[in-house]
Amino acid sequence: MSDHDHHDGADDHGHDHHGEGDGSHGHHHGDDDHSHGHDHDHHHHDIDDLEAAVLTISSTRDVDDDPAGDAVAELLREAGHSVSVRRVVDDDYDEIQTAVARMADRGDVDVTVTTGGTGVTPDDRTVEAATQLFEKTLPGFGELFRRLSYDDIGTKVVGTRATAGVVDGMPTFCLPGSENAARLGTAEIIVPEAPHLTGLARRDAE
């Protein structure tokens, strides 16, 4: 099953292509084990005003026809963050990997969100390309996303491989390419957790 079955049949690998953590338990273990007994300092490193990159992985869309990317950008801006990069990237392994790596290298991108390419069709390559760059994985993101998605699409959640990890200190979230999935993952997980995860990922570099 391709991710384009995910959420109202919208295309996951974004056939939407071209154009330009741990959640509730994180403050006890997993993302921040050192914080036991120090809850008052738990969010000390949060980055409240994030600069985000939104990459749509698709060979058929452009930035003027990109409902999933529009949804991610809208929700990030509504939460007080900025979108400094908005691009459509072809669903090619090397192009996806290069695009994500460049976001980490720019210096003005705190977090990257990709939409599309997380399904199981042969041209769904986002997960393979992105995970090779992860210095740390965030398995709770995909787990929670599928749990939340189950209420909407039932057992079709097995067809999405949404994932997240840290690339050179930059949290990177890979969402399906449907607008509903993009809204769900951004509103329910990325917006609440990205400031904290970004601060944690960069703490040792401060």
The CATH number of residue 178's host domain is: 3.40.980.10
- pLDDT value for 205: 53
Bridge partners (DSSP) listed for residue 177: none
- Condensed to tens digits (0 to 9), the pLDDT of residues 61-116 reads 999 999 999 999 999 999 999 999 999 999 999 999 999 999 999 999 999 999 99
pLDDT band at 44 (very low <50, low <70, confident <90, very high): low
Q: What are the helix (H) ranges across the chain?
A: 67-78, 93-106, 126-131, 139-153, 179-185, 191-202
- Condensed to tens digits (0 to 9), the pLDDT of residues 157-193 reads 999 999 999 999 999 999 999 999 999 999 999 999 9
More confident residue, 50 or 32: 50
Residue 17 placed within a domain:
yes
Residue 84 placed within a domain:
yes
Cα distance between residue 104 and residue 167, in whole Å? 6
pLDDT band at 203 (very low <50, low <70, confident <90, very high): confident
The one-letter amino acid at 3 = D
pLDDT band at 48 (very low <50, low <70, confident <90, very high): confident
Question: Residue 155 phi/psi, 5° resolution?
Answer: -70, -5
Task: Give SS3 for 187.
Answer: helix
Mean pLDDT in residue range 21-32: 41
Residue 67 placed within a domain:
yes
- pLDDT value for 195: 97
- pLDDT value for 202: 85
Task: Give SS3 for 87.
Answer: strand
Residue 32 placed within a domain:
no
How many domains does the chain divide into? 1
Cα distance between residue 18 and residue 180, in whole Å? 20
Residue-range definition of the domain harbouring residue 155: 3-22+50-201
Residue 31 placed within a domain:
no
Residue 45 placed within a domain:
no
Residue 99 placed within a domain:
yes
**What's the predicted TM-score (pTM) here?**
0.80
Residue 180 placed within a domain:
yes
